[in-house]
Amino acid sequence: MRLRRCASSCLAALALVAAPAAAQSASFPVQDPVLQRLWRLGMDSSQVAAYAQALTDSIGPRLTGSPGQKAGNEWLQAQYRKLGIPARAERYGSWRGWRRGISHVDLVAPRVRSLDARLMAWSPPTKGRVEAPVVLLPELADSAALGGWLAQAKGKFVLVSFPQPSCRPDSSYKEFALPATWERHLASRDSAQKAWDAKVERLGGTARLHQRIAEAGARGLLTTRWSGGWGAERIFGTRVERAPVFDVGCEDYGLLARLAANGQGPVIRAEGDAQALGEVPVFNVIGEIKGSEKPDEYVMMSAHFDSWDGASGATDNATGTVTMLEAMRLLTQAYPQPKRTILVGHWSGEEQGLNGSRAWAADHPEVVKGLQALFNQDNGTGRVQTVSMQGLTGAGEAMGRWFARLPTELTEGIKLQIPGTPGAGGSDYAAFVCYGAPAFSLSSLPWEYFTYTWHTNLDTYDKIVLDEVKANATLTAMLVYLAAEDPATVARGQRVLPADSTGAARAWPTCQKPARASSESTR
C-alpha cells in the first residue's frame, strides 16, 4: 500500500511538472492584438526549452570551422524550414577546420588519478597514448637562458601557466578568513602572478614561448586559465602546431605543479584525438520574412552562433541563438505579413573578432542603409536589463515609443541608456553601429556569467534559466513587431562623444575589416 501510494503521488507530481503552464496575464498599456498574441504564444507554448536542449546537448559546441558548427548550421536551417521561414547559409570566408576527439589525461606517478584535462581547440593530437614526465617552466633570466634549458623539455610535458596557490574563490576567502589571512593570501598570490608574468615576457611572450618549447621536442604543453569560480576553467584555442596542448583544470594543474616543484616525479599518461581539416568554408545563417509594404527597409535580430568548445556553448551563445529562433517562431504566428522585411542573423566567427557579422554588414550595404533597427543578444541567460541607444540621438524617441506599448511584466527593471555611447566591439551589434546604423544590444542580468559560464567548461544546458530566455524571446519579438510597424524611421543623428581619459576628443568607431581566412587573423 505504501509503495502504491508513493507511486500514485509521484505520478501526480510528475504530471504537474509536465503540464503546460497556465495562461499568464500581462499588463498592456495599450491593447494591441498582435502584442497580446505574441505574449500568449511566448508564455504558453514556448519552444525555448526544446530548442536549447537540442542545440546544446545534441549538437553541442560550435567552434568556428568545426564539424559541430556545420551540423549546427544545418540544424538551424531545418528549424526555420519547419516554421516555413526561408533560411540560407551565406559563406563569408574560410577558417582552419578542426575536429575534436576524445581527450583523457591520467596521473600515473607518484600516484594514480584521472585529471580534469582536455585538448585545447586547434591543438595537434597526441598520435595515440603517450606517457612522459611533467616539468614546471623554471625561473630563467632571459631568452638565451631559455635556449639553454630547452633540451631538458624534450620528451616531457611542460607546465607553462601560472599555478594558482588556491582554487578557492576570493568570495570564499573574504567570507570566512580572518582579515590578516585574506590579506596575506592576496598579497602572496598577486606577487607570484606578477613574477610569473614578468618571466614569460622576458622569455619572449606567451605565443613565442609555447612555440619554442614545442619545437624543442616537448611531448606536450599543459596550460590552465582559472575563471576564479569553483571548478570553472576558461578554455580557448592554441596556435601551437608541433605538440599537443592540454588545458588542465585549476586544481589538477596545481597538483602537477606542486609535485614537479617538490621533485616528486609526476608522470602523466595522455591521449588526445584531434584532426586538422585544413581551411574550410564558414557561413552565417540568415532567415527572412519579406516585408509587405517596405521590403527594402529592415528590422533585424541577431546573435552569434559559434562558440568555444570546452563545454556546450549554452550561455555563450545558445541562449541568444534560441532567443532569436523563438522570436521568429512567435512572429510567424502572430505577425506573418510584416510591413518591413524581418531578418535574423546567426553569426559565425564572433569569437575570432566579429568576423561573420562584420563580413555580412560589409557585403550587404543595402541592409545597413535600410536598417530600421537591429536587436542583438550575447551575454548569457539573464533577462534583459539594459538597452543603450549607442550614441544615436534619435533612437531614444523611437525606443521610448516601443517600450511604452510593452507589458510591464517584460519591461520592469529595464534601463534605457539615452543617448548612450557607440560600442566598438564586444559583440555583433558593433558591426553595424560603426556604420551609424541603429543596432542595439539587449544586455542581460549576469547570473555569474563571467565567473562561471563565459568560455568555460561549465557552460552547459543546466545553466540556462529558461524563464528568462523565454521572456527575452517574447520581448524581442514584440520590439521587432513594433519597429516593423512604426511609420517613422529611426533617426541616425550622432551625439558628440565625451572626451577619453586623456581629455582627447573621441571619434565614432570605425568599421574594421573582417578576417575572411584564418591566415588573416591576428588572434
Q: 210 with 151, same domain?
A: yes
Residue 352 identity (one-letter amino acid): Q
Longest dimension (CA), the chain: 80
What is d(CA 83, CA 336) in angstroms, rounded to the nearest whole number?
Answer: 11
Number of CB atoms found within 10 A of residue 269's CB? 18
**Residue that is last in its domain, among 235, 265, 295:** 265
Q: 247 with 289, same domain?
A: no
HSE-CB of 244 using CA atoms within 13 angstroms: 30
Q: What pLDDT, in 10s, does the model give residues 348-387?
A: 999 999 999 999 999 999 999 999 999 999 999 999 999 9
Query: What pLDDT is attached to residue 62?
Result: 98
CB proximity list for 319: less than 8 A, separation 6 or greater: 52, 377, 380, 381, 464, 469, 472
pLDDT at residue 9 above 80? no
Residue 456 identity (one-letter amino acid): T
Rounded CA Rg of the chain: 26
Q: 456 with 315, same domain?
A: yes
Q: 375 with 235, same domain?
A: no
Residue, of 245 and 18, whose pLDDT is higher: 245
Q: 450 with 406, same domain?
A: yes
Query: What pLDDT is attached to residue 16?
Result: 35
Q: 283 with 261, same domain?
A: no
Into how many domains does the chain fold?
2
Number of CB atoms found within 10 A of residue 229's CB? 19
Q: 182 with 55, same domain?
A: no
Q: 487 with 345, same domain?
A: yes
Contact (Cβ atoms closer than 8 angstroms) between residue 309 and residue 236:
no
pLDDT at residue 287 above 70? yes
Q: 363 with 488, same domain?
A: yes
> Which has the closest alpha carbon to 206: 243, 161, 163?
161
What is d(CA 375, CA 110) in angstroms, rounded to the nearest whole number?
Answer: 55
Question: Does 273 fall in a domain?
Answer: no
pLDDT band, very low/low/confident/very high, at 24 (cuts 50, 70, 90)? confident
Lowest mean pLDDT, pick from 58-72, 349-363, 439-453, 499-513: 499-513
What is d(CA 440, CA 256) in angstroms, rounded to the nearest whole number?
Answer: 46
Contact (Cβ atoms closer than 8 angstroms) between residue 432 and residue 511:
no
Q: 247 with 312, same domain?
A: no
Question: Does 38 fall in a domain?
Answer: yes
Question: Does 471 fall in a domain?
Answer: yes
Query: What pLDDT is attached to residue 33?
Result: 97
Question: Does 86 fall in a domain?
Answer: yes
Residue 192 identity (one-letter amino acid): A
**Residue that is last in its domain, among 221, 237, 265:** 265
Query: What pLDDT is attached to residue 5?
Result: 39
The three cell numbers locating residue 230 = 569553483
What is d(CA 433, CA 440) in angstroms, rounded to the nearest whole number?
Answer: 8
User: What CATH number does residue 254 fall under?
Assistant: 3.50.30
- Whole-number average pLDDT of the chain: 94
What is d(CA 438, CA 375) in angstroms, rounded to the nearest whole number?
Answer: 9
What is d(CA 437, CA 483) in angstroms, rounded to the nearest whole number?
Answer: 14
> Which has the closest alpha carbon to 457: 159, 182, 251, 165?
251
pLDDT at residue 20 above 80? no
Query: What pLDDT is attached to residue 137?
Result: 98
**Residue that is last in its domain, among 265, 291, 325:** 265
Query: What pLDDT is attached to residue 523?
Result: 77
Contact (Cβ atoms closer than 8 angstroms) between residue 477 and residue 42:
yes
pLDDT at residue 213 above 90? yes
Mean pLDDT of 318-328: 98
What is d(CA 19, CA 277) in angstroms, rounded to the nearest whole number?
Answer: 46
Question: Does 180 fall in a domain?
Answer: yes
Question: Does 301 fall in a domain?
Answer: yes
Question: For the chain, what's the residue count?
Answer: 523
DSSP string, 360-402: HHHH-HHHHHTEEEEEE--S-SSPEEEEE-TTBTTHHHHHHHH
Question: Does 183 fall in a domain?
Answer: yes
Q: 332 with 361, same domain?
A: yes
pLDDT at residue 316 above 60? yes
Q: What pLDDT, in 10s, does the model give residues 41-74?
A: 999 999 999 999 999 999 999 999 999 999 999 9
pLDDT at residue 225 above 80? yes
pLDDT at residue 1 above 90? no
User: What CATH number does residue 420 fall under?
Assistant: 3.40.630.10
Question: Does 5 fall in a domain?
Answer: no
Query: What pLDDT is attached to residue 501?
Result: 86
Query: What pLDDT is attached to residue 343?
Result: 98
Q: 182 with 223, same domain?
A: yes
Query: What pLDDT is attached to residue 14?
Result: 35
Query: What pLDDT is attached to residue 160?
Result: 98
Phi-psi region of 93 (alpha: psi -120 to 50; beta: other; left: phi over 0): left
CB proximity list for 181: less than 8 A, separation 6 or greater: 173
**Residue 313 sits in which domain range?**
28-96+279-495+505-518
Cα–Cα–Cα angle for 176, 178, 182, rounded to 5 degrees = 85
Number of CB atoms found within 10 A of residue 49's CB? 15
